[in-house]
Amino acid sequence: MTSYKGQCHCGNTAWEAKLEADQQGHILCHCDTCKSLSGSTFTLNQIIPKAALTITKGEAGLGKYTYYGESGKGVHCFFCKNCTSHVYHHQEVMGPDTIVLRTGLLTEGIKSFEPKAEIFGKARLGWEKEVATTFETLPPS
Ligand SMILES: [Zn+2]
Ligand SMILES: [Zn+2]
């Protein structure tokens, strides 16, 4: 287990995530919601226990945006209210103790992690090359 620090763009919010060896990598998500929320072609994520994430600075400054996924269940996106960086998402469909961490905001992780999988590959843009095992939507559970 290794501890990784992260912070939002403006620095108002900072956090620490304790990641197991098999969590030290990026899961690329190509879904249309990620495109829309990031203004880019995919996001970098990892699924971790909620208890593995500690907001060390500015928790009160986090905003929450909720949308409803295909399952009809809520997806709560926690972001810095000042600069709008998304820290993590909580998908109700995953249960109360699991969150989706944005690995692209980990100071060391963004540089050292490798792509481990790609999800929602069906929405990958035509000019993007495959860089890891790709699932059409989600991996079979
Ligand atoms: Zn910020
Ligand atoms: Zn996505």
C-alpha 35 – ligand 2 centre gap (Å)? 7
Sheet-wide strand order for 14-19 = 2-7, 14-19, 53-57
Threshold 0.85, pTM exceeds = yes
pLDDT of residue 69: 83
pLDDT of residue 140: 85
List Cβ neighbours of 67 (8 Å cut-off, separation of 6 or more). Answer: 33, 74, 75, 77
Residues of the chain with pLDDT under 50: none
Ligand closest in space to the Cα of 77: 2
- Domains in the chain, CATH or no CATH each: 2-122 (2.170.150.70)
pLDDT of residue 130: 98
C-alpha 47 – ligand 2 centre gap (Å)? 12
Q: Cα dist. 113→103, 133, 140 in Å?
A: 9, 15, 23
C-alpha 9 – ligand 1 centre gap (Å)? 5
